[in-house]
Amino acid sequence: MIENTLIATLGMEITHLGEGKVIATMPVDERTRQPFGILHGGASVALAETVASLGAYELVDKETEAVAGLEINANHVRPKADGVVTAVGTVLHRGKTTMVWDIKISDEQERLVCVSRCTMAIIKKNK
């Protein structure tokens, strides 16, 4: 499911996938840096939405429902030039038609790099 996607292209790895919590890592390298040599904000947002999407999908009825990002915001609070970042996503609100996820992205010393909130739409599949 992850092969040939943005997840694979950016080197993301899902390290924990549980009910209401997802943890994933992403390298800070030539794939994820912006031209000034630091982690691209868009890469951080892609990691955050990936965590929220996978987490939301784990909480829906996969036979009748799907999920899609509805809104995302991010505050980039610390630059990161190399190494690995870790995203920890937790569900804040679990409704019938939407979910809200909190995602904190940190460096290897557990210093906050980015904080994001993502609203996921829960979509009914056509039968």
**φ and ψ of 16, to 5 deg:** -150, 130
Catalytic residue among 3, 13, 19, 49: 49
Domain housing 91: 6-124
Task: Please tell me the pTM assigned to this model.
Answer: 0.96
Strand partners, 14: 24
Domain membership flag for residue 1: no
Q: Is 49 a catalytic residue?
A: yes
Domain count, the chain: 1
Asked if the model's pLDDT at residue 1 lies above 80, the reply is no
Question: Between the CA atoms of 86, 77, 116 and 8, what dihedral angle is there, to the nearest 10 degrees?
Answer: -40
CATH number of the domain residue 61 falls in? 3.10.129.10
Would you say residue 73 lies in a domain? yes
pLDDT band at 60 (very low <50, low <70, confident <90, very high): very high
What would the mean pLDDT of 46-72 be, rounded to a whole number? 97
